[in-house]
Amino acid sequence: MKIKSIALIASLALLPLSVHADGISSLQHFNENIKHFSGNFTQTVKNAKKTQKTSGSFAIARPEHFRWIYEKPYQQTIIGDGKTLWLYDVDLAQVTKRNQKNAMGNSPAAILSHKNALSAHYTIQNDGEENGIAYVVAEPKNKDSEYKHIRIGFRDNVPENMHLQDSFGNTTDISFSQVKINPNLSGSLFQFKPPKGVDVLDANQ
């Protein structure tokens, strides 16, 4: 009997352990190992009066370059080239440029682009696991922060969704899909030249 027990224990030791990654370890892995990523997104912004749904694609090359394209129901391009933040509104035929460092704030693109964006301004805690998604919740260190809280869900150490609630009561929910990790991203993706015939506004002046 003792020999059988020892054999059973030995066989159990060889079985793979079920490991459930928590949100903080997923965030840490994401920050340490992922430099480039791209994919699609759907975004829902809600306030007391209306709900607005949009969708599009994104590409991020950490730490300073990103491309965030709204495709439906309107077309809008936001590009950060490391120095300048470009916003091109197709319907308005208008381009606005700003100093990227001053304009980024705590936007989703800023949070995803800069690995220290959350830890610098927020206290981060694990927030459970649902359907294989590990969550962190970030509470602002400064009461005057743009957002009251930010919740990010990770599946296999990759962002699956984000929930942001701002100080005005608006909520933004973003879901990511078809995410590619460390793809070969062309530098041209993060360059922008205003199309001919559009108005260009310099918000720095």
Q: What is the pLDDT of residues 18-64, one digit of tens each?
A: 345 699 999 999 999 999 999 999 999 999 889 999 999 999 999 88
pTM of the model: 0.83
Rounded to whole angstroms, how far apart are CA atoms 183 and 164?
Answer: 27
pLDDT confidence of residue 91: 94
3-state secondary structure of 119: helix
pLDDT confidence of residue 103: 78
Neighbouring-strand partners of residue 122: 140
Rounded to whole angstroms, how far apart are CA atoms 131 and 182?
Answer: 25
| 65 and 81 Cβ atoms separated by less than 8 Å | yes
Every domain of the chain and the residues it spans: 19-202
Residues 143-170, mean pLDDT to the nearest whole number: 91
pLDDT confidence of residue 147: 87
Return the CATH number of 19-202, one of 3.40.30.10, 2.50.20.10, 2.40.30.10, 3.90.550.10.
2.50.20.10
pLDDT confidence of residue 101: 82
Residues 151-169, mean pLDDT to the nearest whole number: 93
pLDDT confidence of residue 112: 87
Strands 76-81 and 84-89, sheet pairing: antiparallel
φ/ψ (deg, to 5) at 63? -100, -5
- Greater model confidence, 17 or 142: 142
Q: Has residue 174 got a pLDDT over 80?
A: yes
Rounded to whole angstroms, how far apart are CA atoms 143 and 42?
Answer: 29
Average pLDDT across the chain, whole number: 87
Widest CA span in the chain? 87
Residue located via tokens 């964006």: 117
